[in-house]
Structure formats: C-alpha cells, structure tokens
Amino acid sequence: MIKSYRLVLTVFVLASGFLSGSARAELPDIPDPHAWSTLPAAERDARASALRERLRAATPDERRQFRERLRERLSALPPEQR
C-alpha cells in the first residue's frame, strides 16, 4: 500500500512539474529592427516595456537564448543598418 501511494505521489509531482513548464508562455520573437525603428517613440517604449516584463518572467536559460537570437539577428544586418 505504501509503495503504491509513493508511486502515485511521485507521478503526480512529476506530472505537475511537466504541465507547469509546458503551460508557460514562450518568449517573444525577436523584433524586426527595421520595423522597430519606424515605430513612434511611445509605441517603441510600450513594446520594450512589455518585452522586459516577459523576459523577467523567463528562466535564466530562456533569457540567454533570447539574447543569443537577438545578437544573431543584429549581426546579420549590414553595418550601415546597425
């Protein structure tokens, strides 16, 4: 009886951990630099604030992945567009 209780408890704990991880929102896509630069200043500020909030809720690994993707996107731009 104790072993089956432990098994059920273990499965429940593992399942809740997997479900909570899968329910988390994904990080946003990297914004298009050209489209970002054409936005009005107030809109850029609002989007930047929303992006910061989403990154605060992310794990350190997710933030690192986002920064890497951002660097790749910006380094792909020609120097005159940076």
Tens digit of each residue's pLDDT (9 = 90 or more) over 7-59: 444 544 444 444 444 445 677 888 888 888 899 999 999 999 999 999 999 99
Name the nearest CA neighbour of 34 among 73, 72, 66, 6.
73
Give exposure, 55-73, as e/b (b: 16+ Cβ within 10 Å).
Answer: eeebeeeeeeebeeeeeee
| Whole-prediction pTM | 0.61
